[in-house]
């Protein structure tokens, strides 16, 4: 599904082995393969963003 709409249907074997829609192909190619990350560093690390409760409530309906 893409934006709530079905982009491709069919037998599972056909969809995984010969996807027709570019979004289906992108999803399948995004799945990590066993050993594919062995020589690579992990994903880029981002700082953890922590919001204080008071900040999170700012602007909320009272």
d(CA 35, CA 42): 13
pTM of the full structure:
0.52
Convert the pLDDT of each residue in 1-59 to its tens digit: 888 899 999 999 999 999 999 999 999 888 887 776 666 676 667 677 666 666 555 66
Domains in the chain: boundaries: 1-30
Buried b (16+ CB within 10 A) or exposed e, 24-62: beeeeeeeeeeeeeeeeeeeeeeeeeeeeeeeeeeeeee
Output 50 or 60, whichever has higher pLDDT: 50
Residue 12: the pLDDT is 94
Residue 24: the pLDDT is 93
d(CA 53, CA 46): 21
Residue 56: the pLDDT is 54
Residue 16: the pLDDT is 92
């Amino acid at each position: 599904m893409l934006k709530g709409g079905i982009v491709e249907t069919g037998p599972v074997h056909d969809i995984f082995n010969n996807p027709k829609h570019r979004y289906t192909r992108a999803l399948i190619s995004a799945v990590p393969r066993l050993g594919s990350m062995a020589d690579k560093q992990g994903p880029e690390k981002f700082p953890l963003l922590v919001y204080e409760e008071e900040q999170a409530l700012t602007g909320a309906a009272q």
